[in-house]
């Protein structure tokens, strides 16, 4: 089982869009996929039309009063299940903090799923916290969306510093440019320049596109209903890069 985390320190950068589309692509290849919406805002849960509710909240899961598999919901797509968001996830830091080895709780929980799933995709809330440490320790690969702005490089550096400081084996990092508008010169320049400064950056670039915005209206991954779109193709390429990287 491979654990992929769509993670960023910043919000609004296309994390949920990437998580939802990559999860759908993985499932389409016949892999058994679980998408865990760890963000209390529940964007991914909304996209898949699932009720953002976990009985007993995040605490019941972390304290193992409730098994993860018991709260899983099937999505409308083959091989793709969702572990829904719950508003209580905003307190996950505190729940983890009260446990033994608090930075390894998430990884331990995910181990229970290794027979059931081939891929787990974590859609994480934007933060630098104990939850983030758990994610870094549990993931095999971090997918990091970057907005095309000079500040992004700084954000990526910060993130790499953070990962280096977390104990244990470091996950791979696949940062990619997200919400790129090729009509804008600054974006075009950054698409050219950033890979030179960061050779590990993904070759795939996710464009800003109306299809991406429409996902919230259609409430389904765009690779499902607009498979021929530029954005869907870009997610397809990103998925291949992720597979090659883990």
Judged by CB under 8 A, does residue 51 bind another protein?
yes
- Write each residue from 200 to 219 as x if it is in contact with another protein (CB under 8 A), else as -, in one continuous string: -------------------x
Instruction: Please pick, from the candidates 19, 25, 50, 159, the single residue that binds another protein as defined by CB under 8 A.
Output: 50
Q: What are phi and psi of 188, to 5 degrees?
A: -60, -45
Judged by CB under 8 A, does residue 9 bind another protein?
no
Stretch that binds another protein, among 43-51, 126-134, 140-148, 163-171 (CB under 8 A): 43-51
Instruction: Please pick, from the candidates 11, 49, 111, 184, the single residue that binds another protein as defined by CB under 8 A.
Output: 49
Judged by CB under 8 A, does residue 243 bind another protein?
no
Judged by CB under 8 A, does residue 29 bind another protein?
yes
Of 67-96, binders to another protein (CB under 8 A) are 71-74, 76, 78-79, 81
**Beta-bridge partner residues of 174:** 143
Tell me the pairing of strands 73-74 and 80-83: antiparallel
Judged by CB under 8 A, does residue 37 bind another protein?
no
Torsional sign, CA 16, 19, 22, 23: negative
Q: Which residues bind another protein (CB under 8 A)?
A: 28-32, 48-51, 71-74, 76, 78-79, 81, 118, 219
């Amino acid at each position: 089982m491979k654990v992929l985390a769509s993670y960023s320190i910043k919000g609004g950068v296309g994390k949920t869009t990437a998580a939802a589309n990559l999860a759908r692509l993985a499932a389409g290849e016949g892999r058994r996929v679980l998408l865990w919406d760890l963000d209390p805002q529940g964007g991914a849960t909304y996209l898949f039309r699932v009720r953002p509710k976990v009985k007993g909240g995040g605490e019941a899961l972390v304290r193992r009063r409730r098994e993860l598999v018991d709260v899983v919901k099937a999505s409308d797509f083959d091989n793709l299940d969702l572990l829904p968001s719950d508003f209580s996830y905003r307190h996950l830091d505190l729940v983890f903090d009260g446990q033994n080895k608090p930075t390894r709780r998430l990884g331990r929980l995910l181990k229970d799923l290794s027979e059931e799933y081939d891929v787990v995709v974590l859609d994480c809330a934007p933060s630098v916290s104990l939850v983030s440490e758990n994610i870094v320790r549990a993931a095999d690969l971090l997918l990091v969306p970057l907005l095309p702005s000079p500040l992004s490089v700084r954000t990526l550096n910060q993130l790499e510093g953070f990962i280096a400081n977390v104990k244990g084996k470091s996950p791979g990092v696949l940062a990619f440019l997200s919400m790129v508008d090729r009509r804008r010169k600054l974006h075009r320049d950054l698409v050219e320049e950033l890979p030179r400064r960061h050779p590990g950056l993904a070759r795939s670039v996710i464009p800003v596109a109306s299809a991406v915005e429409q996902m919230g209206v259609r409430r389904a991954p765009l690779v499902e209903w607009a498979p021929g779109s530029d954005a869907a193709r870009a997610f397809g390429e990103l998925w291949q890069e992720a597979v090659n990287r883990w």
